[in-house]
Amino acid sequence: MIFDVSHKTHYRYTHPVIQSQHLIHMSPRPVARQTIRNHSLIVEPAPALRYDGVDALGNTVLILDIERPHKELVIHARTTIETHPAADIDPLSTTPWDDLDAHFQRGANGLPLDVILYRCASRLTTATREIADYARVSFTPGRPVLDAAIALSNRIFAEFKFDNTATDLSTPISVVLRERRGVCQDFAHLALACLRAMRVPARYVSGYILTHPPPGQPRLQGADASHAWISVWSPEFGWTDLDPTNGIVVSDEHITIAYGRDYDDISPISGVLLGGGDHDVSVGVDVIPIE
């Protein structure tokens, strides 16, 4: 599939911002199942310094230094991207999750560093005893790791309600587990905490998903949103992306932007301001299939 993606963020401040610096994760990451045909990122007002680079996790990043006083900031990313179906996998043929330690020890080179990184808890994915108990329902002894991970993802989809009023970025995953509601970021963080409690390597993925309007209704401009899901590692297939919000294995309707330990690593826009007072922000996202 081929998509045109538009992601526009507009900040409005009550007082002038004298200077600001920002770290931007809004450029798609080159991955095996997608091809970037075109990408641009426009910033208004124009920054005095703009650095395009790659962060420690291999994601494309943009660093901005804006020195012109301003009461509005617009960051608009536009991308044309081609996606391909994920490679076929056989979850039942993967190594049992409780044999991963022994598998790593038998390997000639041990566990790759980029896998070890995603096996450890992060600030937003530290498991409680209740989260570990929730994970064990799917991670029974001897169960193949991808089969268990898919079962966990499907349970979160079936047992939790999507509710964009129930949580915010400060809501702990323990509350998400107790209340059984949240948004895609919450479900991804909960799944990661469960997997890491079982010592299974898993990472947070940010991006977009094609949404479908109700039958007979037109697509609303700007009504799409950023999305989050997870990627789970197995010795047989490497990284496999799972979407616990929708209970599916990720395919060609998902567009990957970045990988991280959790949302903190790859938030779309972060930074520091001098001045500005209060602010409000509007975000418009469109994911349009063009072929």
* pLDDT for 87: 86
**Look-up: residue for tokens 């943009």?**
62
Q: Are residues 51 and 120 in the same domain?
A: no
Tokens representing residue 26 in the block? 């809004």
Q: Phi, psi at residue 100, to the nearest 5°?
A: -65, -40
| Weakest-pLDDT range from 100-104, 195-199, 220-224, 281-285 | 220-224
Q: Are residues 238 and 105 in the same domain?
A: yes
Give me the sheet containing 226-234, strands edge to edge: 248-249, 238-243, 226-234, 202-209, 254-260
Contact 234, 146 (CB under 8 A): yes
Q: Are residues 180 and 249 in the same domain?
A: yes
CATH code where residue 278 lies: 2.60.40.2250
Domain count, the chain: 2
Q: Are residues 182 and 76 in the same domain?
A: no
Domain that holds residue 120: 91-263
Q: Give tens-digit pLDDT for 188-200.
A: 999 999 999 999 9
Q: Which of 186, 141, 131 is nearest to 164 (CA)?
A: 186
Q: Are residues 103 and 238 in the same domain?
A: yes
SS3 content of the chain, % helix, strand, coil (to 5): 25, 40, 35
Q: Are residues 201 and 257 in the same domain?
A: yes
The H or E element that residue 259 is part of is strand 254-260
CATH code where residue 96 lies: 3.10.620.30
Q: Give tens-digit pLDDT for 50-91.
A: 999 999 999 999 999 999 999 999 999 999 999 998 889 999
pTM of the full predicted structure? 0.93
Q: Are residues 107 and 26 in the same domain?
A: no
Q: Are residues 60 and 139 in the same domain?
A: no
Q: Are residues 100 and 173 in the same domain?
A: yes
Q: Give tens-digit pLDDT for 251-284.
A: 899 999 999 999 999 999 999 999 989 999 999 9
pLDDT band at 222 (very low <50, low <70, confident <90, very high): very low
* pLDDT for 225: 83
Q: Are residues 121 and 194 in the same domain?
A: yes
Q: Are residues 45 and 121 in the same domain?
A: no
| DSSP-derived 3-state class of residue 198 | coil
* pLDDT for 114: 81
Q: Which of 67, 39, 63, 66 is nearest to 51 (CA)?
A: 63
Q: Are residues 23 and 131 in the same domain?
A: no
